A = this chain, B = another copy of it.
């Protein structure tokens, strides 16, 4: 009972265009099955799309998202590969943690700016 989606359904659900889905496929980020020439997306595709869009909101490039997804469902056996993967994962995590700090700083700045606006309004 694996659910499947048409390209339009998926596009509408996530608020992207069909062009975008085809483009992601072209870049190897999605790989829907074909039902006599027309694309059929599985739940796995849907999950991938969710990860890609989350990555976009965080400012990742498609390539970065692709590499993260690869990490995520990589069933590598080779020890060397695994250690390389761990290194990569930790590197990415450090970037994200830096982002967290940046985010908090920017939220603080915005709060200061807003407070000053409000003050400016009330002390008429």
Asked if residues A82 and B113 are in contact (CB atoms below 8 Å), the reply is no
Q: How far is A86 from B92 in the complex, measured between Cα atoms in Å?
A: 34
Asked if residues A103 and B93 are in contact (CB atoms below 8 Å), the reply is no
Interface band, chain A? 35 or more
Within 8 A of B (CB), among A74-105: 74, 76-77, 79, 82-83, 85-86, 89-90, 92-93, 96-100, 102-103, 105
**Quick one: CB contact mask for A23-63 with B, threshold 8 Å, 1 for yes?**
00000000000000000000000000001001101111000
Closest to A71 in B: B113
Q: How far is A98 from B93 in the complex, measured between Cα atoms in Å?
A: 18
**A99 CB contact (under 8 Å) in B58, B71, B111, B114:** B58
